[in-house]
Amino acid sequence: MIGAVSVALLGAAGLVAWRVLGPAEVVTPARKPYPQPVIPAPGPIGVLVSAPLVLDDRIRVFATKRQVWADAPPNFKYERSALWSLRRWPAQLVGVVAVGGDRPVVASSWSDGELVGTDARTGTIAWQVSAETLGDAYTGRRTGASTVYQPPGLFTTDSAVIVAGPGNVTAYDPATGARRWQVAAPGAAGCRGVDLTSAQQYLVHDTCAGTLRRFDTATGTALPDLDGGVSTVEPVSCAVGHSRCQGVRLTRPAGAEGRLLTGTAAEPSPPLAAPGAVLAGGIAATAPDPAAVTRLDGRDPHTGELRWTWQPPAADTTPPPRLLAASGDRVLLLAPDHTLVSISAASGKELSRTSLQLYYEPDAAYDIAQVHTSGRYLVLVRTVPGAPDTAPDDDYYLSPRPVLLAAS
């Protein structure tokens, strides 16, 4: 009798341990309709603990070690209760990308190699495939910023989700998860440098050959390489991280060179060769000193023809701003006193000038670790000035809520 009771107790304990420690995937779908777009007015919105990936002006997507979730509306000053959530255990979240439009999907890559497509409208799993493992652990720190803004080996294009693993580069249909094509990872082992996508291309720097290799993301077909001793590759004006970049800046023995990544071409762009140059609304914006802008020139990206020049008003006594980013049809400048200046890419006219300083926060200097723009939304991940990347979170981030959400 005692033996039977002992066996029963052990069995019950084992069942509890399995339920607690066994592999689990918990989907919490949305209970509310997909939110309508919200276009914010220029200025600061609020401060967050986690870094949001803003999708279609409708939702914000966040990441932690074992969870990806969304909230709404995107212009709320703090995080809200989750609209939907995906939690997996014991796998860790490696990277997140999002594809908007009529069938919006949030694709998440996990340490067990699973690639999960979540329907952004409902929070249900639209598809799930076994892909190459892009990392063995979560690296997003407290904010999740690197996981949503710079996911390793995970990209989007106009028509695909790209997984660039150590063995292969694979394109998946964002709506269904169906594999569209696969090619062997280009270049010899240990020779893969910076990689990126444009609307229709996947590009990777072969550091050993000094070549930028290119592929058509609709078919996987190899496109002509950009060779000639390419030593560095800098993506220009990407939608998020290194995805859907509008251009690229190369360094060769003869100097810097800019290229436009429109269609499947890589057209020369003299203005993009300038340090810090960005593309917005079909215009290349350059400054003699992008770290202290006293003049901003808008140029034709193909010919370099000057279209307009912006200079701060004569009465402006604020310190010169830095060239921060391109955001849709505008160029953003940020001054040391946290003044955000928005310039029209079409005309060079100043659209708005607002302070990002919130009344309930200390007026302190900060460095910026990550910048994210989506439509009118702007996200700055703020860090302690001079803090090294290796510093503990408490010594690295500016405050417990280091993520500033604003609008331009």
CB-based burial, 79-105: b 16+ in 10 Å, e otherwise:
beebbbbbbbeebbbbbbbbbbeeebb
Return the exposure string of 348-384: e unless at least 16 CB atoms fall within 10 Å of the residue's CB, then b.
beebbbbebebeebeeeebeebbbbbbbbbbbbbbbb
Cα separation of 54 and 71, whole Å? 10
Asked if 205 and 192 count as a contact pair (C-beta separation under 8 A), the reply is: yes
Using omega within 30 degrees of 0 as the cis cutoff, is the peptide bond preceding 73 cis?
yes
Cβ atoms of 383 and 402 closer than 8 Å: yes
* Domain chopping of the chain, boundaries: 153-268
CB-based contact 61:52 (threshold 8 Å): yes
Indicate the residue type of 152.
P
The alpha carbon dihedral of 174, 178, 180, 182 has a sign of positive
Give, for all 408 residues of the chain, the pLDDT tens digit.
555 544 445 454 444 433 444 578 999 999 999 999 999 999 999 999 999 999 999 999 999 999 999 999 999 999 999 999 999 999 999 999 999 999 999 999 999 999 999 999 999 999 999 999 999 999 999 999 999 999 999 999 999 999 999 999 999 999 999 999 999 999 888 899 999 999 999 999 999 999 999 999 999 999 999 998 999 999 999 999 999 999 999 999 999 999 999 889 999 999 999 999 999 999 999 999 999 999 999 999 999 999 999 999 877 777 899 999 999 999 999 999 999 999 999 999 999 999 999 999 999 999 999 999 999 999 999 999 999 999 999 999 999 999 999 999
Rounded to a whole number of angstroms, the distance between the first and last alpha carbons of the chain is 74
Question: SS3 of 307, please?
Answer: strand
Q: For 66, which DSSP code?
A: T
pLDDT at 14: 47
User: pTM for this structure?
Assistant: 0.93
User: What pLDDT score does 180 carry?
Assistant: 97
Round to whole Å and give the CA distance between 394 and 398.
8
CATH topology of domain 153-268: Methylamine Dehydrogenase; Chain H (2.130.10)
- In this prediction, residue 189 carries a pLDDT of 81
Provide the edge-to-edge strand list for the sheet that holds 232-240: 232-240, 243-252, 255-260, 267-268
Estimate to the nearest angstrom the gap between the alpha carbon of 78 and the chain centroid.
20
Task: Give the per-residue pLDDT at 5.
Answer: 47
Q: Residue 153 in contact with residue 95, Cβ under 8 Å?
A: yes
